[in-house]
Amino acid sequence: MYLSIIILIFLSFAITYFVTPKVIKFANKSGLVDNPKVRPHPAHIHQGIIPRAGGLGLLLGIIIPSFLVFPFNRLLFGIIVSTSLLVAIGLWDDKKDRSPYIRLFTNTLAALIMILVGINIPYITNPFGGIWHLDTIPFLSYLAAFIWILWTTNIIGWSGGVDGQLPGFVAISAFIIGLLSLRFAAQDPKQIQVTYLSFITGGAFLGFLPWNVYPQKIMPGYGGKTLAGFMLAVLSILTFSKLGTALLVLIIPMTDAVFMLSKRILSKKSPVLATNDHLHHHLLSLGWSKKKVAVFYWLISLITGLIALSLNVKQKIFAMAVIVVVILGFIILIDYIRKLSKISQEE
């Protein structure tokens, strides 16, 4: 089993790593590039022309190994169709920015496909004891899965604005979910497929990392970002609905997303429009380097992931509450400092 995991990580890593240079050439030739002078964007922090379309290499790094080890069933079919749809629309968006509502519709469709193939959240562990059985209420378990997949697919990409930031913490998150899934493999032999898929996903994003670290040679693109969120959402559900672990390991992007959505709604702005007020933008405004911001995200994901593996449900809830308060306080403080700086510059 362990040898198989190592082989799959290496295979997914190698596929993405060696395919990505071809994707870079394809992106440059096809005009799938990000040029701030041609495509102004409030979240831009880079200069020069950078190829996008990184989702294509990531997709191949996940799908090819999956075909080799998994029987072709409804679940695999749903994952292949959904991820291919997300990356295809991502490439279209990489060519020319599309309406955020088109992207939201596509993400909704990808989530619905997974519901149609049977994925659901049958229960949630009650932190105060017992279990909440969602499957006792018609369609509630499927609705919960739909909301979780749609939410995670959309918001993970918001924490991908700095070179190397996204593939690093996504790889760590996938490996943590894989380790968690491995615990259940002895109880349920079918769980080993989820374990393999988790490590395949982690290996693919790890293989993309050398091309995306500062100075980045290629961006994940919209397809790569949504692929990341989608896979983490699905994997956390398949690992016996361990959403608490996923919430803890993804605590920074999740907290950042809640803060930004709340801020946009209170400001009467559309929650789907892009902004430059995310945590990594604030850190950069304080003088942090891109490398430092990326490493910060990686370390927090690793630390919270290891914590999640060693805590029970009550302890996870307490840890999440403490970390969320700290991160929110940090974000609000930096946001306030940034506003004061803008006011002083205007004066």
Task: Please tell me which residue, 239 or 108, carries the higher pLDDT value.
Answer: 108
pLDDT value at residue 269: 76
pLDDT grade for 1, boundaries at 50, 70 and 90: confident
What are φ and ψ of residue 123, in 5° steps? -155, 160
Q: How many domains does the chain have?
A: 1
Residues facing 124 on adjacent strands: 132
Q: How does DSSP assign 95-156, residue by residue?
A: HSPPPHHHHHHHHHHHHHHHHHTT----EEE-TTSSEEEGGGSTTHHHHHHHHHHHHHHHHG
Angle at 109 between CA 236 and CA 31, to 5 degrees: 100
| Residue % of the chain over a pLDDT of 70 | 92
Angle at 158 between CA 153 and CA 163, to 5 degrees: 120
Over residues 250-270, mean pLDDT: 83
**Domain limits at 289?**
2-346
pLDDT value at residue 292: 93
Cα distances from 14 to residues 140, 180, 210, in angstroms, run: 40, 24, 12
Could you report the per-residue pLDDT of 178-216, keeping only the tens digit for each? 998 888 777 777 788 899 999 999 999 999 999 999 999
| Residue % of the chain over a pLDDT of 90 | 51
Task: Please tell me which residue, 291 or 280, carries the higher pLDDT value.
Answer: 291
pTM of the model: 0.91
Over residues 139-167, mean pLDDT: 92
Could you report the per-residue pLDDT of 220-231, keeping only the tens digit for each? 999 999 999 999
Which among 340, 320, 332 has a CA at the least distance from the CA of 260? Answer: 332
pLDDT grade for 282, boundaries at 50, 70 and 90: confident
Could you report the per-residue pLDDT of 54-74, keeping only the tens digit for each? 999 999 999 999 988 888 889
Could you report the per-residue pLDDT of 47-56, keeping only the tens digit for each? 678 999 999 9
Mean pLDDT over all residues of the chain? 88
Q: Among 86-90, 232-236, 270-274, where is mean pLDDT lowest?
A: 270-274
pLDDT value at residue 52: 92
pLDDT value at residue 113: 97
Report which listed range, 133-142, 194-203, 247-256, 264-273, is most confident: 194-203
pLDDT grade for 159, boundaries at 50, 70 and 90: confident
pLDDT value at residue 274: 66
How far is it, in rounded angstroms, from Cα 222 to Cα 228? 10
pLDDT higher than threshold 90 for residue 339: no
Q: Which two tokens stand for residue 80?
A: 């292949």
pLDDT higher than threshold 90 for residue 123: no
How far is it, in rounded angstroms, from Cα 303 to Cα 248? 10
pLDDT value at residue 104: 92
